[in-house]
Amino acid sequence: MFIKFPKRSDCKESDVTPESLYLSRRTLLGASVAGLALGSLPRWASAAEAARYADVEAGNAPSWFAGKLPGTQWGAVTVKGEAITPYKDATHYNNFYEFGTDKGDPAQNAGSLKTEPWSVVVDGEVGKPGRYALEDFMKPYQLEERIYRLRCVEAWSMVIPWIGFPVSALLKQVEPTSKAKYIRFETLQDPKSMPGQRSGFALIDWPYVEGLRLDEAMNPLAILAVGMYGRELPNQNGAPLRLVVPWKYGFKSVKSIVRISLVEEQPKTTWQSIAADEYGFYANVNPTVDHPRWTQARERRLPSGLFSPNVRETQMFNGYSDEVASLYTGLDLRKNY
């Protein structure tokens, strides 16, 4: 399904990709054609579009993923005039507490996560509950590339090219009942492969849980991602299935989902349970509502360093006001942070 977004989000890949990356993409594309001739293609190149971006590491895509890529609508939504974050930063500066609390821990430790076979349970207030093997779960959906800003509550940000499908398409499939008011997502709980879940010091009451109001989930910007940078999701980024809600702080974008429930009551979410005065249910990006311990008026766009801090103004709803502001008409965003 193709969704026509307002003009602001409309642009070509060459508008958002730094020239060096854009040019190296062309070189890479050339190289992969040459590679085809020599029969020495990297594993992903024959099926995926990883060559669209520089320095993307070869993945190990399951056959269902590669099989769906040819129909993908590339560049369905983009970010105008902002460079895509280098792959290396997006995959080595992560929050995924199941694999440790340092930014480098997920890349180092998430190799232990077994993403095949994977199943997803859909339950609660739905006409069609069930447990689906991921390859069956994915069958109805056409993949789209969505290039979105990602803004963490910790005041850093990135621009990521995701591959996924709208949450609204899933809702159409599973048929929520009239009682369904919220959607709740749950991450895998597997202490054997997730060292953070074995730690006696973890603050989190596992599994990691997130949720959205049903009308938020229906917004066309909300997607379930299965890939990024033209390939399947690396484990540290939430393989094989994660939520992406670009107008909200990153902690709403729950990773490695195993259960999706339609519920009547607002779900108790992980960060809200840990510190309700710091992390609310809504978590909409908002430069005028500070975190109790730091300002949200500005953010560091990665990559950033001591001599190039790359600081920019935070945008209301992370720059997606046109698409989502109407969801919150009449709601006090200071109280409902």
Of 45 and 50, the one with the shorter C-beta distance to ligand MTE is 50
Nearest CA to 122 out of 170, 181, 72 is that of: 170
d(CA 199, CA 221): 35
Cβ 208 to ligand MTE shortest distance, Å? 4
Question: Does 43 carry a binding-site annotation?
Answer: no
Does 283 participate in binding ligand MTE (rule CB under 6 A)? no
- Judged by DSSP in three states, 316 sits in helix
Of 201 and 307, the one with the shorter C-beta distance to ligand MTE is 201
Cβ 98 to ligand MTE shortest distance, Å? 6
d(CA 77, CA 221): 9
Does 302 participate in binding ligand MTE (rule CB under 6 A)? no
d(CA 21, CA 145): 18
d(CA 223, CA 200): 33
Report the amino acid identity of residue 23.
L
Q: Which stretch binds ligand MTE (CB under 6 A): 77-85, 94-102, 169-177, 326-334?
A: 94-102
x/- site string to ligand MTE, residues 176 to 215, per CB under 6 A? -----------x--------------------x-------
How many Cβ atoms sit within 10 Å of the Cβ of residue 2?
8
Query: Given candidates 41, 51, 152, 260, which one binds ligand MTE under the rule CB under 6 A?
Result: 152
Does 157 participate in binding ligand MTE (rule CB under 6 A)? no
| Helix or strand (DSSP H, E) at 120 | strand 119-124
How many Cβ atoms sit within 10 Å of the Cβ of residue 296?
18
Nearest CA to 161 out of 116, 93, 226, 65 is that of: 226
Q: Which stretch binds ligand MTE (CB under 6 A): 11-19, 252-260, 294-302, 323-331?
A: 252-260
Using alpha carbons only, give the angle 154, 155, 161 rounded to the nearest 5 degrees: 100
Query: Given candidates 22, 64, 87, 96, which one binds ligand MTE under the rule CB under 6 A?
Result: 96
d(CA 233, CA 48): 12
Does 255 participate in binding ligand MTE (rule CB under 6 A)? yes
Query: Given candidates 32, 235, 253, 314, which one binds ligand MTE under the rule CB under 6 A?
Result: 253
Of 32 and 197, the one with the shorter C-beta distance to ligand MTE is 197
Site for ligand MTE in 232-251 (CB under 6 A): 237-238, 250-251
d(CA 255, CA 98): 10
Binding site for ligand MTE (CB under 6 A): 94-98, 150, 152, 187, 208, 237-238, 250-251, 253-256
